[in-house]
Amino acid sequence: MTLPNPLIPGFNPDPSAVLVDGTFYLVTSTFEYLPGIPVYASTDFENWERIGNVLTRPEQGELENAPTGLGVWAPTIRHRDGLFYVIVTIAGGRGCVVYTAERPEGPWSDGLVLEGVEGIDPDLNWDENGVALVTYSGLVMKGPDIGKHGGIRQVDVDLATGETLAGPRDLWSGTGFKFPEAPHLYRRGDWWYLMIAEGGTERGHGVSIARSRDPRAQFEPGPANPILSARSTNRPIQNTGHGDLVDTPDGRTLMVLLGVRPRGGTQAFSALGRETFATEVHWREDGWPTADPVHLDPRQGEVEESLTFDAPLDAGWLAIRRTPESIADLDSAPGRLTLHGAGDLTSSHPVFLGRRQLNQTATVASTVDARAGRGGIAVRYDEQTVYSLLAEDDGTSTTVTAEARVPGIVQSWSATLPSGPVELSLISEPAPGMELGGDWAEVMTSDFVRFVARSGDEDVELARVDGRYLSAETAASFTGRVLGLFAVTGDVVFDGYRYSGSER
């Protein structure tokens, strides 16, 4: 089977998948962003469409005060008796929550909190009697023991009330690598298999497996763990782990998992963060699985997206700790977007409306009217790691300011253009190789980001900034690049959102 990799590009970590009536459904983590937990669908496992999101209402996630890097962690999607389930940890918030829906597009329930689960990365399965088993990583997230890790644990739960019926019990602590997490429990023949991630979600990440005749008993580790890892290799996809298995209608077993695509002379910086990849799994005669290495095979050609604001926002827009609809004004300037400023991008609740960067090489642009406010376009990892291009118009001229912000350092560049709307662009382009005349410092990084403003026929490049600081290896959060529109003060009007990308 030839799999496009990344399977789901851009900020899409911690994937989980299920097959229902010939269609695959896949969900990923979203942390402090809303809507939360995108739902993707595919009938061939190659072409995927985002059909909705699980968390579309603020009360479902209660993310208003979720610290950066916490929030919606590691969902698992399952299906039983005509009902879809997504179980997830809302770290720093509601805890372990189960959402249900009759259709994967939603609407999804408000969520049931499972009070007896003290940990992260929950999985959901059912025993032969229909009792729900929640298997999770025993990382303590609050109280005096915060940070303590108890290995892989499990409880029996009542999914009608959230009550713990039995447990917690210890199943397996992994093979000795750090952070045993992301457990998934499967029934295959007479065996129950427990697949986990360990080694941390960075370069040491890997997938290990164990099995038992009894899903509640201690698990025996496999003879060849980890069954998947890119650690200490030069493979173009690194940090491979956090896998979930799904069987195909033709009898194959596939694994969806997270990984990164590092660039630079030493594969040091991953601009897009953790993305969703896939590989094939094979079952040996002794019943143990092996996994193929994860091969890079990105979709070729140009990705073009030209969005207008003459219709309701689609499901691909993101906002921070609140819904896109709560900040997007589509009425004040029909056919355009108005954002009402309420603080800068370092705020915990910035007026920022964004979409995932999907390609290693990408351009995002919008025409910005800043005659009644201050705002522009930005690429964001978190509050302290953001590059922005801001316009402010005093009626006689427009001042455009490019700003690169990383923890502890802020640098800016300004230019003056005629009064009136200006087109602002952020351009992410690969670093030149040595054969193209690049110097050593440039060869070592992931990419460069160019800040460009246009008024009439005049283009002004304000700055070209090293992109390594907007990468999974340097940003403190677990997210990825989100490209968006923002307002700091007043009313800023945006005419369109234009994205183009490729894998060159």
Active site members: 14, 181
What is the distance of C-alpha 452 from the center of its chain? 27
Structure tokens at 409: 């350092």
Asked whether 136 and 153 are in contact (CB, 8 A), the reply is yes
What does the alpha-carbon distance between residue 123 and residue 136 come to, in Å, rounded to a whole number? Answer: 6
Helix (H, G, I), strand (E, B) or coil at 55: strand
Buried/exposed 310-346: b ≥16 CB within 10 Å, e otherwise: eeebebebbbbbbbbbebbbbeeeeebbbbbbeebbe
Asked whether 48 and 66 are in contact (CB, 8 A), the reply is no
DSSP letter at 441? H
Q: How far is CA 120 from CA 2, 260, 452, in A?
A: 33, 22, 42
What does the alpha-carbon distance between residue 84 and residue 99 come to, in Å, rounded to a whole number? Answer: 8
Which residues are CB-contacts of 275 (< 8 A; sequence separation ≥ 6)?
6, 8, 9, 10, 11, 12, 13, 258, 259, 260, 261, 480
Beta strand spans in 407-481 (E): 409-418, 422-430, 447-455, 458-466
How deeply is 44 buried, as exposed, middle or buried, from its count of CB atoms within 10 A (0-12, 13-18, 19+)?
Answer: exposed
Strand ranges across the sheet with 149-157: 120-126, 132-139, 149-157, 164-172
Helix (H, G, I), strand (E, B) or coil at 160: coil
Structure tokens at 257: 């998992």
Parallel/antiparallel/unpaired status of strands 191-198 and 71-80? unpaired
Helix (H, G, I), strand (E, B) or coil at 149: strand
In the chain, how many H helices and how many E strands? 2, 34
Asked whether 245 and 195 are in contact (CB, 8 A), the reply is yes
Asked whether 136 and 119 are in contact (CB, 8 A), the reply is yes
Torsion angle of C-alpha atoms 500, 406, 277, 82, degrees rounded to 10: -90
What does the alpha-carbon distance between residue 307 and residue 335 come to, in Å, rounded to a whole number? Answer: 11
What does the alpha-carbon distance between residue 257 and residue 248 come to, in Å, rounded to a whole number? Answer: 16
Torsion angle of C-alpha atoms 491, 381, 137, 102, degrees rounded to 10: 40
Per the DSSP assignment, residues forming a β-bridge with 388 are 378, 403
